[in-house]
Amino acid sequence: MNAEITSVAAEFVQRFSSTRRGARLARMLALHQLDAWGVPFGTTPSDTAAQIVAELAANAVTHGHVPGRDFELRLVLLRGDRVRIEVADARGERRPRPRVPQDGVEEGGRGLLLVEALAEAWGVTGRDVGKVVWADISVR
């Protein structure tokens, strides 16, 4: 994890099946958790978080899938009105990077351009099995 996480106010962690259905459920539960933390549905921070969770969860399901392995969503409410969104999968050798498609031929990578535009910071860190893709956003 990134060394910046030093002032945790609250945390939510849940594993999901590495399926499209699991990715949708991760997005829905993230929004419910943020609402419980005082980030109301339909606000800009909630919508931003929804888009980032959707992109990172879709990437975990599409590119980070290992048969029989789940992906994990972790939300960390940080003091200072920030939230870190982390999605972990089991494919450590497949590091994501944003890509601008050449002549519309190349598929993929566009979602990370969106994450890069919406997040204050984002990155990838390794773990024992797989990787964690994280993004920090302001919720105020």
Domain limits of the chain?
8-138
**pLDDT for 3:** 40
What does 1-53 look like in DSSP terms, one character per residue? --TT---EEEEEEEEE-SSHHHHHHHHHHHHHHHHHTT--TTSHHHHHHHHHH
Which fold does the domain 8-138 belong to in CATH?
A: Heat Shock Protein 90 (3.30.565)
Per-residue pLDDT of the chain (140 residues; tens, 9 = 90+): 444 566 888 999 999 999 999 999 999 999 999 999 999 999 999 999 999 999 999 999 988 777 778 999 999 999 889 999 999 998 767 666 665 656 655 565 578 899 999 999 999 998 888 899 999 999 98
> Amino acid identity, residue 101?
P
d(CA 52, CA 70): 19
Q: Where are the alpha helices (DSSP H) in 63-109?
A: none
**Interstrand relation of 71-78 and 8-16 (parallel, antiparallel or unpaired):** antiparallel
